[in-house]
């Protein structure tokens, strides 16, 4: 049996009238990357900060390392690392000074040079925080979460607002932690991030977990199977493909199919009707579709709500 590092049962949190978290349960197992995915306002930060012992739940049971936070808060804090959402650090400290400073709060310490090397920050270690790019700041933030050599690391939206290349750099840093066997609780509203990094995913929507499991489980349970996408298809002739066909924002026509054998039938229908297209692509369903099927919205629409 793999030990559970976090065990949350029936967690709720109200802020006056706002029901931010409405009864969620999950476990995080030793050595895995567990990711909560959901739009802004879904309740991710509230859940994470309750697990970190920073906020108090309205009701529910939270255990870390088999212990209740209220009883062992000091001991538990020594064993966890935290990267808060939209954190800032001291502008005029260098990377190395920053890590040294945060390290000074803990009894347990990890060698700072080792952290710098793990996160691929050697070239930047004497640079001032204020001169770093967004992606580098986030990597320093991951480093701050490692100064006490924690067994469990919380990363709350570590790549929000970064460009794809900077995001990759942060992903590499997280992969390095994963390879070291750290348990990681990651929140994100980027589906690709959870797909790339997470062993298990919980999809949160309006304070509830609407689906959880490995990517494979989620896709087979809630994703449908394949998507056929045709580029350059005459969208005025979409009717011949049936009701399930739709046009996306780039004017591609897409159509869900359960079985790859249906693809040849689709193609012959298109040819019989003399409709032309430039190219065709068959994709396995991804987390985006799982999210759509479970919530009836895209994650961006969820953000706006
Ligand atoms: N300290 C707070 N006081 C009042 N409302 C809050 C507070 N923190 C979060 N909320 C509200 O709780 C809901 C969930 O927020 P949050 O946990 O930050 O979600 P997420 O991290 O998924 O964006 C939102 O409606 C938010 O406005
Ligand atoms: Mg948040």
Closest atom of ligand 1 to 45 CA is 21
Same domain, 69 and 214: yes
Q: Give the end of a domain, one of 199, 220, 241.
A: 220
Does ligand 1 have an atom closer than 6 angstroms to the CB of 39?
Answer: no
pLDDT tens string 177-189: 999 999 999 999 8
pLDDT tens string 56-102: 999 999 999 999 887 788 899 999 999 999 999 999 999 999 999 99
In a domain, 289, yes or no: no
Per-residue pLDDT band at 29 (split at 50, 70, 90): very high
CATH number, domain of 248, equals 3.30.70
In a domain, 19, yes or no: yes
Same domain, 99 and 244: no
Residue 261 has pLDDT above 90, yes or no: no
In a domain, 302, yes or no: no
pTM above 0.85, yes or no: yes
Does ligand 1 have an atom closer than 6 angstroms to the CB of 84?
Answer: no
Same domain, 214 and 229: no
pLDDT at 141: 97
pLDDT tens string 32-48: 999 999 999 999 999 99
Distance CA 294, CA 305 (A): 16
Does ligand 1 have an atom closer than 6 angstroms to the CB of 207?
Answer: no
In a domain, 304, yes or no: no
Same domain, 45 and 105: yes
Structural domain of 85: 4-220
In a domain, 25, yes or no: yes
Q: Ligand 2 centre from 116 Cα, in Å?
A: 27
pLDDT at 140: 97
Ion ligand 2 neighbours (CB, 5 A) are 44-45, 85
In a domain, 300, yes or no: no
Pairing type for strands 152-156 and 80-83 reads: parallel
Same domain, 8 and 130: yes
| Cβ neighbours, 10 Å, residue 150 | 21
Per-residue pLDDT band at 297 (split at 50, 70, 90): confident
Tokens representing 184? 């990681």
Same domain, 250 and 175: no
Chain CA centroid to CA 119, Å: 19
Distance CA 124, CA 131 (A): 10
Beta partners for residue 186, in sequence order:
35, 155
Same domain, 176 and 269: no
In a domain, 296, yes or no: no
Per-residue pLDDT band at 204 (split at 50, 70, 90): very high
Same domain, 213 and 74: yes
Strands (E), 99-225: 152-156, 183-188, 200-205, 208-213
Does ligand 1 have an atom closer than 6 angstroms to the CB of 43?
Answer: yes
Top-confidence residue, 249 or 192: 192
Same domain, 238 and 124: no
Residue 1 has pLDDT above 70, yes or no: no
Tokens representing 54? 């920073």
Per-residue pLDDT band at 271 (split at 50, 70, 90): very high
Chain CA centroid to CA 182, Å: 16
Q: Ligand 1 centre from 20 Cα, in Å?
A: 6
Q: How many domains does the chain have?
A: 2
């Amino acid at each position: 049996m793999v030990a559970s590092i976090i065990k949350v049962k029936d967690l709720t949190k109200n802020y006056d009238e706002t029901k931010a978290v409405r009864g969620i349960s999950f476990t995080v197992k030793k050595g895995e990357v567990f990711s909560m995915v959901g739009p802004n306002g879904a309740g991710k930060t509230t859940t994470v900060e309750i697990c970190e012992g920073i906020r108090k739940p309205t009701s529910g049971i939270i255990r870390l390392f088999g212990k209740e936070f209220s009883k062992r808060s000091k001991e538990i804090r020594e064993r966890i690392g935290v990267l808060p959402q939209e954190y800032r650090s001291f502008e005029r400290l260098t990377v190395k000074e920053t890590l040294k400073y945060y390290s000074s709060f803990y009894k347990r310490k990890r060698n700072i040079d080792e952290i710098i090397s793990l996160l691929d920050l050697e070239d930047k270690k004497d640079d001032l925080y204020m001169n770093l790019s967004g992606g580098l700041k986030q990597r320093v933030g991951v480093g701050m979460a490692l100064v006490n050599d924690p067994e469990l690391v919380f990363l709350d939206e570590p790549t929000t607002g970064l460009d794809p290349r900077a995001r990759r750099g942060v992903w590499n840093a997280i992969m390095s932690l994963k390879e070291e066997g750290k348990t990681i609780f990651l929140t994100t509203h980027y589906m690709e991030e959870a797909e790339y990094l997470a062993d298990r995913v919980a999809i949160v929507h309006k304070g509830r977990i609407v689906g959880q499991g490995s990517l494979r489980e989620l896709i087979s349970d809630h994703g449908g199977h394949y998507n056929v996408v045709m580029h350059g298809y005459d969208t005025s002739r979409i009717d011949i493909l049936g009701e399930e066909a739709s046009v996306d924002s780039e004017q591609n026509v897409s159509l869900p199919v359960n079985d790859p054998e249906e693809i040849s039938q689709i193609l012959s229908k298109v040819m019989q009707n003399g409709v032309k297209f430039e190219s065709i692509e068959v994709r396995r369903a991804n987390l985006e579709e799982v999210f759509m099927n479970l919530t009836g919205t895209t994650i961006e629409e969820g953000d706006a709500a």
